[in-house]
Every structure is written in structure tokens, then in C-alpha cells.
């Protein structure tokens, strides 16, 4: 199994520009498989559930240079735990959650790196800011002093054609560039987290700086 994981990683790497950060998504993946990916050079790992991440991190404490990324929806009551477990949170998806995290980060004196999750098509299954909502909230987001806003996360709705997915990714890139041009003092827009196993080449084409890959590295999830 470990050979297969290392081989898949070795195949994907050369397809990514050196500036693109590969985040291995390990939801439902065993600790042994995570160790294999680590052995193949991966240092960024993504999880979407707090409890699952905590259990695994406990068993991986010897791998000290892992950076953990939270990529799934975060409920306010788990926000404190999230700050303890993750140095990046890609899925900050509302002003309310942002403000809760900002308050907790002040209390814990930590400075997590966060991305703002945007929703570029209406999708009842997805969280995130619409473009007008985000533009309206920027002045308030700019007042955060503990959370370090580094960019955006984009997730297209399921089952779209490549053309449509590419259009959404381009829109994500344009939105990040537009916000960047506004020169906010506390909002950076250098990072764009988009692209999963099925669509990461399109995301890279549109200017992603982080891709979140699960199944293409670890094999199909059964759920």
C-alpha cells in the first residue's frame, strides 16, 4: 500500500508547478497511509472533521513538521479546538465564524492563517460568501488582527462540465485579484485553494496556489 501511495504522489508532483502547494486530504484515511505520504515527502495534510483530526494527530506527534489544514465546515462550538489543531483554516465561510475565531485567537494568542471560502454558484449544499456578500464584508474582515487572511478557497458544485468548472476557477482567480488591488491593510490575497482529485489540472490552469487531493493519492473513499 505504501508503495502505491508513493508512486501516485511521484506521478502528481511533476504535474504541479513548484509554487503550487500539494495538500494531501486524509479524511477517512488511516494513520499508516498518512505516514506513507509523509515518507514520500508530503508535509501538508488536510482534514475536514475535528474529532477525526484530533485522533490522528495524537498518533502522529512524532512527525513534527506537518502543517495541518482544516478544509471542512466548522461549527462555532468547535472553533476553539480547531485553532488548537490546525495552523491553516481554508473553510472560514461566514462573518460570524470569522468573528468567533478572531475572538478565540485573541484569547489563545495565536495567529492562524485563514482563507475565505467563497461560493461562486448558488449551491444549497455549500457554505461560503457570495461575491456581493464578501465585497460588503471586507471592511469588517480587514479589522481582524489575529487571523491572517491569506486568500480564498473555491469549491465548484458537484457534477459540472469541465468548461463550467474552469469558468468557476477563473472567476475565483479574478475575485482574488480584484480584492488584492484594493490594497487592504489586513487582507492578503496571495493564496487560492482550489482543485481536488477530479479537477486539479483545471484549477492549476486558472492559477490555484494550493490543491487539495485525496482519492487520487489514497484511493477511492467508500462512503
Ligand X SMILES: *Cc1c(COP(=O)(O)O)cnc(C)c1O
Binding site for ligand X (CB under 6 A): 25, 27, 48, 71-72, 155, 196-198, 212-216
Cα gap 164→147, rounded to integer Å: 32
For ligand X, give the closer residue by CB, 115 or 146. Answer: 115
Closest residue to bound ligand X by CB: 214
CB of 27: closest distance to ligand X in angstroms? 6
For ligand X, give the closer residue by CB, 13 or 27. Answer: 27
Residue recorded with cell 466548522: 74
Buried b (16+ CB within 10 A) or exposed e, 21-41: bbbbbbbbbeeebbbbbbebe
CB of 83: closest distance to ligand X in angstroms? 19
Contact present, 38 and 55 (Cβ < 8 Å): no
CB of 200: closest distance to ligand X in angstroms? 8
CB of 220: closest distance to ligand X in angstroms? 9
For ligand X, give the closer residue by CB, 146 or 154. Answer: 154
Cell of 129: 460568501
For ligand X, give the closer residue by CB, 98 or 146. Answer: 98
Amino acid at each position: 500500500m505504501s508503495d502505491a501511495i508513493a508512486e501516485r504522489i511521484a506521478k502528481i508532483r511533476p504535474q504541479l508547478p513548484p509554487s503550487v502547494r500539494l495538500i494531501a486530504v486524509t479524511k477517512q484515511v488511516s494513520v499508516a497511509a498518512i505516514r506513507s505520504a509523509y515518507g514520500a515527502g508530503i508535509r501538508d495534510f488536510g482534514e475536514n472533521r475535528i474529532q477525526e483530526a484530533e485522533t490522528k494527530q495524537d498518533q502522529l506527534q512524532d512527525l513534527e513538521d506537518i502543517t495541518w489544514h482544516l478544509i471542512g465546515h466548522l461549527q462555532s462550538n468547535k472553533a476553539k479546538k480547531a485553532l488548537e489543531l490546525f495552523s491553516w483554516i481554508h473553510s472560514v465561510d461566514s462573518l460570524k465564524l470569522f468573528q468567533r475565531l478572531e475572538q478565540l485567537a485573541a484569547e489563545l494568542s495565536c495567529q492562524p492563517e485563514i482563507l475565505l471560502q467563497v461560493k461562486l454558484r448558488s449551491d444549497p449544499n455549500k457554505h461560503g460568501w457570495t461575491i456581493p456578500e464578501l465585497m460588503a464584508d471586507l471592511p469588517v474582515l480587514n479589522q481582524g488582527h489575529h487571523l491572517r487572511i491569506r486568500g480564498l478557497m473555491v469549491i465548484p458544485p458537484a457534477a459540472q462540465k469541465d468548461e463550467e468548472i474552469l469558468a468557476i476557477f477563473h472567476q475565483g482567480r479574478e475575485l482574488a485579484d480584484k480584492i488584492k488591488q484594493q490594497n487592504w491593510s489586513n487582507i492578503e490575497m496571495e493564496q487560492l485553494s482550489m482543485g481536488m482529485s477530479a479537477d486539479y489540472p483545471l484549477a492549476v490552469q486558472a492559477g490555484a496556489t494550493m490543491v487539495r487531493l485525496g482519492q487520487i493519492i489514497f484511493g477511492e473513499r467508500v462512503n
